């Protein structure tokens, strides 16, 4: 793995750049795709690790960009990516996560050719690309559930004092929180069938995607029970504001505001509190959003540039219409950068805006 090439940052007042962050043990960044969640996660992770806090930043988005943002190769399993600070990183590969555990292809798990739930999915009323909720509706695919399984493992890892997550921009991430209730229903149906059918259930192994006589159907059921318990633990963590800060990232545009409102509504349905709303790419001077002096930062010319003025008018309209989104939340603004936001220099400025 290549080491990060740390860029000189002498153009930034080091005292103005946060060393450590004011955040609980878990920080999750969510929002519409392309609003800058990876940037926020990387900046927060860097700042968190600067005071010696062992910090893991994880990307669960299949379209990974964490490596580019941190300017270093990020592995699929957590590894230290900085020598000077205890910063760890991982980009979860959902396909690789399917190779073991309860969603494995073949074997005693619940994968196999019969769809995400194998023969069990067909037995309970459906198969295909998504797990079927026997109470109606559908659940996320096995790849997303496998990614969450890995995420749960990392959040329990004693090596890390703080875990920061760049979440995938899909509502399926939230729907995974329904899995404990769905699995309880599934397990109840399976156990009821075992009682009714007795010895006939000894052949259940084939329904789990493998006709091997050595497959133990109880192993698959036990995997389901364990995964259900772990996801329930994750749900408890996400619903506890003393342990988790779910931060919604948006840009000052009407569609992003609407998307953020929907996300906040969904989070509220699952009793997941949102502590922070981050408004990214605001056309304001850096000095207006953070007490940091970076003489290389290029601010929009709102006095003489007609294009800048019009874009700022659009942003102000969106921001004024989003006041309800901001109510009850800690609002942070990050300015629009003239350059790509990646590497030590720009991420430290972003961190200063987030911790202002």
State the pLDDT confidence band at 154, using cuts at 50, 70 and 90.
Answer: confident
Q: Which of 66-80, 109-123, 213-227, 262-276 has the lowest mean pLDDT?
A: 109-123
User: Left, alpha or beta for 355 (phi > 0: left; psi -120 to 50: alpha)?
Assistant: alpha
The pLDDT of 125-134, averaged and rounded, is 39
Beta carbons within 8 Å of 93's beta carbon, 6+ residues apart? 76
**Which strands sit side by side in the sheet containing 79-80, from one edge to the other?**
79-80, 87-91, 55-59, 162-166, 26-30, 244-250, 274-282, 330-335
The pLDDT of 160-165, averaged and rounded, is 94
- DSSP secondary structure string for all residues of 48-67: HHTTT--EEEEE--SS--HH
* Residue of 282, 177, 186 whose CA lies nearest to 230: 177
Q: Which residue has the higher pLDDT, 65 or 229?
A: 65
Highest mean predicted confidence (pLDDT) among 11-15, 73-77, 124-128, 131-135: 73-77
Give dist(CA 266, CA 283) in Å, integer. 29
Position 37 scores a pLDDT of 93
Q: Which residue has the higher pLDDT, 87 or 142?
A: 87
Kindly provide the b/e burial profile for residues 156-171, where b requires at least 16 CB atoms within 10 angstroms of the residue's own CB. eeeebebbbbbbbbbe
- Let me know if 121 is exposed, middle or buried by CB neighbors in 10 A (0-12, 13-18, 19+): buried
Q: Which of 18-22, 70-74, 78-82, 201-205 has the lowest mean pLDDT?
A: 201-205
Position 152 scores a pLDDT of 79
Q: Which residue has the higher pLDDT, 124 or 247?
A: 247
CA atoms lying within 13 Å on the CB side of residue 308: 14
Long-range CB contacts for residues 318-327, cutoff 8 Å, separation at least 24: 318/252, 318/253, 318/254, 318/256, 318/257, 319/252, 319/279, 319/282, 321/254, 321/257, 322/250, 322/252, 322/257, 322/260, 322/261, 324/261, 325/250, 325/257, 325/260, 325/261, 325/264, 325/277, 326/277
Q: What is the pLDDT of residues 227-285, one digit of tens each?
A: 677 777 888 888 899 998 999 999 999 999 998 998 888 888 888 889 999 999 999 99
Position 352 scores a pLDDT of 92
Handedness of CA 340, 342, 344, 346 (dihedral sign): positive
Give dist(CA 35, CA 37) in Å, integer. 6
Beta carbons within 8 Å of 348's beta carbon, 6+ residues apart? 9, 12, 17, 43, 46, 47
pLDDT at 115 over 60: no
Q: What is the pLDDT of residues 11-62, one digit of tens each?
A: 555 555 667 888 999 999 988 888 999 999 999 999 999 999 999 999 877 7
Q: Which residue has the higher pLDDT, 207 or 78?
A: 78
Position 271 scores a pLDDT of 86
pLDDT at 199 over 60: no
Residue for token pair 């270093």: 72
User: Dmax of the chain from CA atoms?
Assistant: 82
The pLDDT of 146-168, averaged and rounded, is 82
Q: What is the dihedral of CA 122, 60, 35, 344, to 10 degrees?
A: -170
pLDDT at 308 over 80: yes
Average pLDDT taken over every residue of the chain: 76
Taking the whole predicted model, whether its pTM rises above 0.85 is answered as no
Q: Which residue has the higher pLDDT, 106 or 115?
A: 106
| 8 A C-beta contact, residue 330 and residue 266 | no
- DSSP conformational letter for 270: T
DSSP 3-state percent helix, strand, coil across the chain (nearest 5): 45, 15, 40
Q: Which of 169-183, 221-235, 287-301 has the lowest mean pLDDT?
A: 169-183
The pLDDT of 155-176, averaged and rounded, is 77
Q: What is the dihedral of CA 57, 143, 226, 179, to 10 degrees?
A: 100
Structure tokens at 76: 């699929």
Structure tokens at 129: 């690309």
Position 106 scores a pLDDT of 44
Structure tokens at 6: 């740390």
Position 240 scores a pLDDT of 92
The pLDDT of 162-171, averaged and rounded, is 76
Domain 1-356, CATH number (from 3.40.190.10, 3.40.50.300, 1.20.990.10, 3.90.550.10): 3.40.50.300
């Amino acid at each position: 793995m290549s080491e990060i090439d740390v860029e000189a940052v002498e153009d930034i007042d080091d005292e103005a750049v946060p060393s450590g962050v004011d955040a609980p043990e878990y920080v999750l960044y969510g929002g519409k795709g392309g609003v800058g969640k990876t940037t926020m996660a990387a900046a927060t992770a860097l700042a968190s690790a600067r005071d010696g806090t062992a910090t893991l930043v994880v990307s669960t988005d299949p379209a990974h960009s964490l490596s580019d943002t941190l300017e270093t190769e990020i592995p699929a399993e957590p590894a230290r990516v900085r020598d000077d600070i205890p910063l760890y990183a991982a980009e979860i590969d959902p396909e690789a996560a399917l190779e073991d555990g309860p969603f494995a292809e073949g074997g005693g798990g619940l994968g196999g050719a019969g769809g995400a739930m194998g023969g069990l999915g067909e037995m309970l009323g459906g198969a295909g690309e998504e797990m079927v909720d026997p109470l109606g509706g559908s659940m996320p695919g096995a790849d997303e559930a496998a990614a969450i399984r890995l995420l749960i493992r990392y959040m329990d890892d004693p090596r890390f004092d703080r875990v920061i997550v760049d979440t995938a921009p899909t509502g399926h991430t939230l729907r995974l929180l329904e899995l404990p209730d769905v699995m309880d229903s599934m397990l109840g149906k399976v156990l009821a069938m075992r009682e009714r059918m007795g010895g006939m259930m000894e052949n259940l192994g084939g329904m789990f995607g493998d006709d091997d006589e050595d497959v133990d159907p109880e192993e698959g059921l036990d995997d389901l029970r364990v995964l259900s318990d772990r996801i329930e633990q994750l749900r408890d963590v996400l619903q506890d504001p003393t342990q988790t800060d779910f931060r919604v990232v948006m840009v000052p545009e009407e569609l992003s505001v609407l998307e953020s409102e929907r996300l906040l509504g969904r989070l509220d349905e699952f009793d997941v509190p949102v502590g922070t709303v981050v408004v990214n790419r605001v056309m304001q001077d850096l000095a207006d959003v953070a007490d940091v002096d970076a003489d290389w930062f290029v601010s929009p010319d709102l006095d003489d540039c007609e294009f800048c003025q019009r874009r700022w008018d659009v942003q102000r309209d969106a921001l004024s219409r989003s006041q309800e989104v901001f109510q009850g939340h800690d609002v942070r603004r990050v300015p629009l950068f003239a350059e790509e936001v990646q590497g030590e220099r720009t991420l430290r400025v972003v961190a200063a805006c987030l911790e202002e």
